């Protein structure tokens, strides 16, 4: 997979790829390498997850082998990720409770990034999202978790809670969301225990560093 990095002003990197599972893995590794060059490894976990979802959507909805490109760009305290492909079909966020996985990756996109969208181009479309680069990782994770739980709770039951009842509802939503994520990882052939161990490791490293 070739890399055509724009070295001036050294804040943008273009990574062409073909829509395939093996290319998605290579794309994740290339993303981490580029973030290391920019001293932005603090955003590596989020970037890997988002790159996986964006590239996998191309494989699923545009087609195996379709030409695409990932663009990484650092701008105004944020890391922007864009995936360009040759289809003008716009992705749609579906209800969590529908039971199929179509569109579920976009819920993760909404939860992990601070903003995202789709732009039609002359040859297809670009799906983009942004990760904040300011503030501590722990603070960003708490903010993202709160946003994810509020979105998940609304999608799951559509009712609001207040006071102590809201706190209890959010805790229950956290448990259900974690369970759903474990189902999601299992469906993709990953070991859920390994995912939990890795999450615990990231948590402990960040707590120790705080």
Task: Enumerate residues 6+ apart whose C-beta is below 8 A from 47.
Answer: 31, 32, 35, 72, 79, 81, 131
In angstroms, the CA 38 to CA 119 distance is 26
Relative orientation angle of helices 192-209 and 137-157, to the nearest 10 degrees? 140
Residue 100 CA neighbour count, 13 Å, CB half = 4
Question: For position 198, what pLDDT does the model report?
Answer: 86
Whose CA is closest to 101, among 199, 158, 186? 186
Question: For position 90, what pLDDT does the model report?
Answer: 87
pTM: 0.60
Enclosing H/E stretch for 58: helix 44-61
Question: For position 95, what pLDDT does the model report?
Answer: 52
Per-residue pLDDT of the chain (210 residues; tens, 9 = 90+): 555 544 434 589 999 999 999 999 999 999 999 999 988 888 888 899 899 989 998 998 899 999 999 999 998 788 999 999 999 988 876 654 444 444 456 677 777 788 889 999 999 999 999 988 865 555 567 667 777 777 777 766 555 544 446 567 778 888 888 998 899 889 988 898 988 988 888 777 766 655
Question: For position 129, what pLDDT does the model report?
Answer: 93
Length of the chain: 210
pLDDT tens for 105-130 read 667 777 778 888 999 999 999 999 99
Structural domains present in the chain: 4-132 (3.30.565.10), 137-209 (no CATH)
Question: For position 104, what pLDDT does the model report?
Answer: 54
Question: For position 6, what pLDDT does the model report?
Answer: 42
């Amino acid at each position: 997979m070739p890399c055509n990095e724009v070295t001036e002003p050294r804040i943008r990197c273009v990574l062409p790829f073909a829509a395939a599972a093996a290319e998605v893995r290579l794309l994740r590794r290339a993303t981490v390498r580029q973030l290391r060059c920019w001293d932005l490894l603090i955003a590596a976990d989020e970037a890997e997850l988002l790159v996986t979802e964006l590239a996998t959507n191309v494989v699923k909805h545009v087609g195996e082998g379709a030409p695409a490109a990932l663009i990484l760009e650092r701008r105004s305290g944020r890391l922007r990720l864009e995936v360009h492909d040759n289809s003008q079909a716009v992705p749609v966020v579906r209800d969590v409770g529908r039971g199929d996985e179509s569109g579920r990756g976009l819920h993760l996109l909404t939860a992990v990034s601070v903003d995202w969208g789709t732009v039609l181009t002359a040859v297809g479309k670009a799906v983009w999202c942004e990760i904040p680069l300011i503030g501590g990782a722990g603070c960003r994770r708490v903010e993202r978790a709160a946003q994810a739980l509020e979105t998940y709770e609304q999608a799951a039951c559509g009712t609001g809670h207040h006071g102590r009842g809201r706190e209890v509802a959010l805790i229950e939503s956290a448990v259900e969301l974690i369970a759903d994520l474990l189902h999601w990882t299992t469906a993709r052939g990953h070991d859920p225990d390994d995912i939990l161990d890795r999450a615990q490791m990231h948590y402990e490293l960040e707590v120790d560093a705080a």
